[in-house]
Structure 1
Amino acid sequence: MRRGVAATVLLLLSLLPAVAQQRYYVRECDTLRYTYTPLQDTLPAADTVAPTRRPFLRRVVDYFSESTVDKTFEKKIDFTFIAGPSFSKNTSLGIGGLAAGLYRLDRTDSVTAPSNVSIFLQASITGFYLIGVGGNNIFRQNRSRIGYELSFSSQPTDYWGIGYDAGANNPRSTFVRKHLQINANFMRQVVKNTFLGVAAGFESTRGIRFTETDYLYGQRTRYNATSVGLVAEYDSRDFIPNPAKGLYVSLRESWFPRALGDCGSDLWRTEVTVDGYRKLWNGGILAVDFHAEFNSGGTPWPMLARLGGNYRMRGYYEGRYTDRDMITVQAELRQKIWRRIGCVVWGGAGNVFPTLADFRWSQTLPNYGAGLRWEFKNRVNVRFDFGFGRKTSGFLFNVNEAF
């Protein structure tokens, strides 16, 4: 009986479609015979499967597609690299590279904003080059933080002298500015969103190849200074590199001891910054910035307040208008357009003057402009801005928002 059943099973199996290409094995010594299909006959060998390589452009697109995902809970540090052409009114056409990293010291803390670090390189056709690193290290539950920046640059620079009248009327001169700057601060939260801390810094500026030394008014071409100071801040921003909401108020008082530099006397600097951010509608944010800098008498020319550049009064050549004191204000509307792409428009004004008693409303300089944004990393933007001012304009390319 059993042999009859086995014969019947074998007959039925032999009638199955040949396409399956199955083999059947029956052991003669078995009372109950069985069949099986060998795995190696139905699956291709692993070493015979050729890996598919994605096209280069597809790999680039996929790389940046993943860069906007917050991976700070999974990785110790989430770095994204980008390189490309750069341009600003001060440095002209060049090339730059950036490594931007986000990380969390406590990856179980989802309330505290991630820390950030940036390593940057830049060079231009004029002979300018810059190398540096900067960032903000935020400790658990935002109880304390460390901010830092280290940079060295060599830049062919235009120079008009000191004061509003010099910037407006003097013929342009040139020199090469070599600048080393180190800044660090440690802040401790005393009550919610309120921080007190200490700061320290060092800066060294050397000017060479001046075409017009009279604009220095008898001062030396090189100065070194070390600073120590106190900082008080209120900070409710949700994300420091690109806030969407919150308020930031900073008061910084710096002392440059005569013994720790070669400026000839003790110097003081007071800086006040007030930034506010508010969501107006879906994808639309209003950001406002007020900044003031006041330097003591005897401050040498390379340490004076310099209007213009990549962050405030965009479109003005940084340093054309230079004096002991400066006040600037700007308001910017930021709008997300589609996926990673956004745009901004802004307006503002600024003034440089030797003392508050010498402030003149007629010397206030206007500023306005527009720009595009591309989010190359989660809430970290590449920005293309075109700014306008009094008898000036300029295009610039940079990373992170202006304020």
Structure 2
Amino acid sequence: MLYPIFLRVVLLAIFLLPMATPLAYGQDFKDFKDIFTFYPNKRKVQKDSSRYLAKLVAAPVISYSPETSLGIGVGAKYLFKFNGSGPETRTSNMPATLQYTLNNQFVLFSGFEVFTNQEEWVIEGNVLVQNYPRLFYGIGRDAPKENKEEYNYVQVLVEPIFLKQAFFRYLFVGAGVRYNQIFDVQTEAGGILETEQPLGYEGSTSMSAEFAMLYDSRNNILNANSGWYFEFTHGFYGKVLGGTHNFELSRFDLRHYFTPFKNKKDVLAVQFIGHFSQGEVPFSELGLFGGSEILRGYREGRYVARTLLAGQLEYRTTFGDSRYGMVAFVGGGDVNSNLGDFKLGNIRPNFGIGLRFLLDRSENLNIRLDWGFGEASNNLYLDIAEAF
């Protein structure tokens, strides 16, 4: 019992460290932050003030989640606009993180969103390379906790999507591809995975052509306080494309942000997600319940199945004009074999609270420390940027 208590104290100390120094406020903190901030086009902006001052932020990264334990590495975030883009074009965001964790994991990740001039096109997607030990309890919503076993794998995921503005400003339609390879899988001898042998449990390659639709009216990509976000993708996966299985996968992500009080900067954020698959669905493409972004409090993959539905509500407030704030969140979700099997009474709840420290005022970028609670479980999460 001492280890989780000690770890919580350490993470809280890491988060509150700026409060004990003058770096938390004013010019001193700005000077400190500028050590890690580079301006690739600064000279061009000095000659032409109509250009956007691009930022390349590169710094050490510390994160924590129950899936990874403490992670240490480096992160970079490139914020820019193409020449000729004005205030009508939102800032493009190209992040990259390289980390090594105390669970002996190696993770390289980038989730990018790029807007061309006047937002005529949006280019978004994910790149992920990792070796990852994950806990497995069985497939289905009733997998018992005592079934817990660990398996390890290496994953390479590449998913670029190209979307064209259609009909009106914030609506985009397009297509892309998704490549997801799982290999070098190591399972426990005589464990559930080896006994049940779900499709693709020893590794798989998923290759698809995807249809995509995006509606995005958020006022800020990194931390919105107004607007809607809706992304839908449907992928056709097949052996003819180079994959190992034939199946279809649909995903959606719906969010809304608004300020409930006129005289306050407080934000109410809502999110719903869905994951629906059919056909010869490999083990790696099942919906994963839990994680650091939704259903906080449950370990990612605590429950797995073909279909996942989840939602969350988060209230965000700031302490006056300081860099500090708090959030409170509540949500729930479930997994099942088919959409028709979902029942409102089976929803598994989660809730929690979090602390925030504003790292960059101009981009509204926070460091977050969240404490989430689920059924008979609770977990801490330390990361950069909001959960959604």
Q: Does the TM-score normalized on the shorter chain lie above 0.5?
A: yes
Kindly state the Cα deviation for residue 215 of structure 1 after the two structures are TM-superposed: 4.4
Q: Which residue of 1 aligns with 2:306?
A: 324
Partner of 1:342: helix, strand, or coil? strand
- Structure 1 residues 237 and 359, CA, compared in 2 at 3 Å: closer, same or farther? same
Alignment of 1:246-395 (within 5 A): 246-264=227-245, 266-281=246-261, 282-337=264-319, 338-377=321-360, 378-395=363-380
1:35: which partner in 2? none
Shift of 1:177: 2.2
1:197 maps onto 2:178 in alignment: no
Q: Counterparts of 1:120 and 1:284 in 2: how far apart (Å)?
A: 29
1:179 to 146, 149, 155: 155
Measure the CA separation in 1 of the matches of 2:337 and 2:370.
Answer: 30
- 1:136-165 per-residue CA deviation (whole Å, 9 max, x = no partner) reads 110111121101221101112111121111
- Paired with 2:38 and 2:88, the residues of 1 have a C-alpha distance of 17
Q: CA deviation at 1:280?
A: 2.1
- 1:146-157 alignment runs, 5 A limit: 146-157=123-134
Contact 2:84–2:117 (Cα < 8 Å) also in 1? no
| Alignment match of 1:145 (pick from 100, 119, 122) | 122
Taking a change above 3 Å as real, the CA distance of residues 156 and 173 of structure 1, as seen in their structure-2 partners, is same
Identity of aligned residues (%): 26
Q: CA deviation at 1:77?
A: 2.6
Tell me the secondary structure at the aligned position of residue 274 of structure 1. strand
Unaligned runs of at least 5 residues, structure 2: 1-22
Superposition deviation, residue 354 in structure 1: 0.2
Deviations 1:202-261 (A, max 9, x none): 001125331122243464411001111111222211122211100112221111122224
User: Aligned in 2, Cα 1:75/1:275: closer, same or farther, shift over 3 Å?
Assistant: closer
Please give the alpha-carbon distance, in whole angstroms, between the structure 1 residues aligned to 2:53 and 2:34.
Answer: 20
- Scaled by the length of structure 1, the TM-score of the pair is 0.80
Report the 3-state secondary structure (helix = DSSP H, G, I; strand = E; otherwise coil) of the residue aligned with 1:164.
Answer: coil
1:133 aligns with 2:115: no
CA contact (8 A) 1:161 1:170 kept: no
Mapped partners of 2:366, 2:60: distance in 1? 13
CA distance in 2, matches of 1:316, 1:67: 34
Post-superposition Cα deviations, 1:260-300, rounded to whole Å, max 9, x if no partner, equal: 24433x21111122110101232200000011110013201
Q: Distance in 2 between matches of 1:345 and 1:107?
A: 40
Report the Cα distance in structure 2 between the residues aligned to 1:215 and 1:302, rounded to whole angstroms.
15
> Aligned residue for 1:113?
90
Q: Are 1:245 and 2:226 an aligned pair?
A: yes
Aligned CA distance change for structure 1 residues 283 and 96 (closer, same or farther; 3 Å): farther
User: Bigger shift: 218-227 or 184-193?
Assistant: 218-227
The yes-or-no answer on 1:229 pairing with 2:205 is no
Question: CA separation of 1:385/1:247 partners in 2, compared to 1, >3 Å: closer, same or farther?
Answer: same
Indicate if the aligned counterparts of 1:252 and 1:270 stay in contact, CA closer than 8 A: yes
DSSP 3-state at the match of 2:103? coil
For residues 87 and 303 of structure 1, the distance between their equivalents in structure 2, rounded to whole angstroms, comes to 24
Indicate the SS of the match to 1:287. strand
Going from structure 1 to structure 2, the CA distance change for 1:60 and 1:335 (only over 3 Å counts) comes to: closer
With structure 2 as the length reference, what TM-score do the two structures score?
Answer: 0.83
C-alpha distance 108-304 of structure 1, shift in aligned 2 (>3 A): closer
Residue 31 of structure 2: aligned partner = 62
Q: CA deviation digits over 1:7-50, x for unaligned, max 9?
A: xxxxxxxxxxxxxxxxxxxxxxxxxxxxxxxxxxxxxxxxxxxx
* Structure 1, gaps ≥5 residues long: 1-56
Q: Secondary structure at the match of 1:63?
A: helix
Larger Cα-atom Rg: 1
1:128 is displaced (CA, Å) by 1.0
- SS state at 1:296 partner: strand
Cα separation, partners in 2 of 1:127 and 1:257, compared to 1, 3 Å: same
Distance change in 2, residues 1:103/1:355 (3 Å): same
Distance in 2 (alpha carbons) for counterparts of 1:110 and 1:262: 42
Give the partner amino acid of 1:62.
D
The two structures, once aligned, show a CA RMSD in angstroms of 2.5
1:8: which partner in 2? none
Aligned partner letter, 1:342:
G
Q: Within 2, Cα distance between the matches of 1:176 and 1:290?
A: 30
Shift of 1:192: 2.1
Q: Name the CA distance, whole Å, in 2 between partners of 1:320 and 1:288.
A: 23
Match of 2:17 in 1: none
Structure 1: 4+ residue segments shifted above 4 A? 57-61, 65-76
Distance 1:66 1:247, change over 3 A: farther
